[in-house]
C-alpha cells in the first residue's frame, strides 16, 4: 500500500486492508500550541504523524488515524496562537474515534501522544474504553515518565548538559523537525530556554501559572545545537522505545484475555 494514513485512503482501500489483516489502528493525540520562537504551532502534530506512520510500519497490519489536535494545552495559552480543548471535549473526541474504529472492525486500538499534556488523560480514557469494549485490545503507548527518562538518556548519549533535551521546543524536538524538513525551523530564531531539571516547585509553576512563568520564550531546553543528524538518532531511539512498549502492552492484554 502507498499510504498507511486512513485519511488518505478511499473506503474501498480501507475495506480491502481490513480483509488483508490490517486490524490495528494507531490514534495519536497532538497539539496546536506555541513551540518557542523557532518552531511552528503544528510541531507536535507533524511529529505525531511521523511517529505514528513509522510505528505502523514497524508493528505491521496497522493503519494510522487522523492525528487529533488541538489537545490539552492550557499551560501554553499565555502565548499567541495556542489552542486548548476543554478536558471533556478532548475526552469526547477520543471516545468518538474509538467508537468509529470499533464499528469499522479494528481489533486493536493504540492511543498515544506526541504532546506532554495529553498523556495522563489518554491513560484514563484508554482504561475506561477498555471496559466499554472488552473484546477490543485498547492500549496506550509510551508514558510521559518513559519519555522523560529517555530525554535524559539522550543528553547523556550526545554528551551534552542535562536539560538540553528539556522536552519542549528543545534540542530533541527541533532536531527531529529538522530531520523531517529543515524549512519548519527558523534557524536564526533558535534560542536557549530553561535548562535544568523541571521538577518540584518549578514543575508546579509550569502547570499552574503556565509555561511563560518558567520560560519567557516558551522553550524548555536548549535547541541552539540542533541538527537533522541528531534528529535521526533521537527519532530512532524514541521509536524503538515506543515500539517495544506497545508490543509489550498488546502481549500483556492478549495473555490477560487468553487470546492468541
Ligand atoms: Zn512539542
CA of 236 from ligand 1 middle (Å) equals 17
| Cβ proximity of 41 and 35 under 8 Å | yes
| Cβ proximity of 132 and 102 under 8 Å | no
| Cβ proximity of 169 and 218 under 8 Å | yes
pLDDT value at residue 246: 98
- In terms of residue numbers, what domain contains 121? 6-257
The Cα–Cα gap between 12 and 177 comes to: 33
pLDDT value at residue 258: 72
Task: Tell whether 1 is covered by a domain.
Answer: no
Q: What is the mean pLDDT of the chain?
A: 96
CA of 35 from ligand 1 middle (Å) equals 6
From edge to edge, which strands make up the β-sheet containing 137-140? 62-64, 24-29, 108-113, 137-140
CA of 215 from ligand 1 middle (Å) equals 15
Task: Tell whether 74 is covered by a domain.
Answer: yes
Confidence at 259, pLDDT banded by 50, 70, 90: low
* CATH code assigned at 175: 3.40.50.10310
pLDDT tens track for 100-119: 999 999 999 999 999 999 99
pLDDT tens track for 34-93: 999 999 999 999 999 999 999 999 999 999 999 999 999 999 999 999 999 999 999 999
pLDDT tens track for 150-198: 999 999 999 999 999 999 999 999 999 999 999 999 999 999 999 987 7
Q: What percent of the chain has pLDDT over 70?
A: 99
pLDDT value at residue 186: 98
CA of 210 from ligand 1 middle (Å) equals 15
CA of 162 from ligand 1 middle (Å) equals 18
pLDDT tens track for 66-82: 999 999 999 999 999 99
Task: Tell whether 30 is covered by a domain.
Answer: yes
pLDDT value at residue 260: 52
Structural domain count, the chain: 1
Find the mean pLDDT for residues 203-211: 90
The Cα–Cα gap between 257 and 131 comes to: 13
The Cα–Cα gap between 136 and 220 comes to: 38
CA of 139 from ligand 1 middle (Å) equals 22
Amino acid at each position: 500500500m502507498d499510504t498507511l494514513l486512513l485519511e488518505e485512503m478511499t473506503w474501498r482501500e480501507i475495506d480491502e486492508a481490513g480483509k488483508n489483516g490490517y486490524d490495528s489502528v494507531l490514534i495519536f493525540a497532538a497539539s496546536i500550541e506555541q513551540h518557542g520562537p523557532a518552531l511552528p504551532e503544528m510541531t507536535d502534530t507533524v511529529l505525531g504523524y511521523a511517529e505514528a506512520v513509522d510505528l505502523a510500519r514497524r508493528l505491521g497490519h496497522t493503519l494510522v488515524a487522523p492525528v487529533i489536535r488541538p489537545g490539552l494545552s492550557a499551560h501554553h495559552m499565555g502565548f499567541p496562537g495556542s489552542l486548548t480543548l476543554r478536558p471533556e471535549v478532548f475526552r469526547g473526541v477520543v471516545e468518538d474515534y474509538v467508537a468509529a474504529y470499533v464499528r469499522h472492525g479494528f481489533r486493536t486500538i493504540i492511543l498515544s501522544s506526541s504532546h506532554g499534556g495529553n498523556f495522563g488523560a489518554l491513560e484514563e480514557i484508554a482504561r475506561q474504553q477498555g471496559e466499554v469494549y472488552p473484546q477490543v485490545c485498547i492500549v496506550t503507548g509510551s508514558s510521559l515518565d518513559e519519555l522523560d527518562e529517555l530525554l535524559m538518556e539522550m543528553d547523556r548519549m550526545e554528551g551534552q548538559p542535562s536539560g538540553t533535551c528539556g522536552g519542549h521546543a528543545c534540542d530533541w524536538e527541533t532536531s527531529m523537525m529538522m530531520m523531517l524538513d529543515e524549512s519548519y525551523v527558523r534557524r536564526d530564531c533558535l534560542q536557549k530556554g530553561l535548562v535544568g531539571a523541571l521538577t518540584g516547585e518549578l514543575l508546579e509553576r509550569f502547570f499552574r501559572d503556565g509555561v511563560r512563568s518558567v520560560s519567557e520564550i516558551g522553550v524548555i531546553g536548549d535547541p541552539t545545537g540542533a541538527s537533522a543528524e541528531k534528529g535521526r538518532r533521537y527519532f530512532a531511539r524514541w521509536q524503538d522505545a515506543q515500539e517495544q512498549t506497545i508490543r509489550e502492552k498488546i502481549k500483556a492484554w492478549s495473555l490477560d484475555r487468553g487470546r492468541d
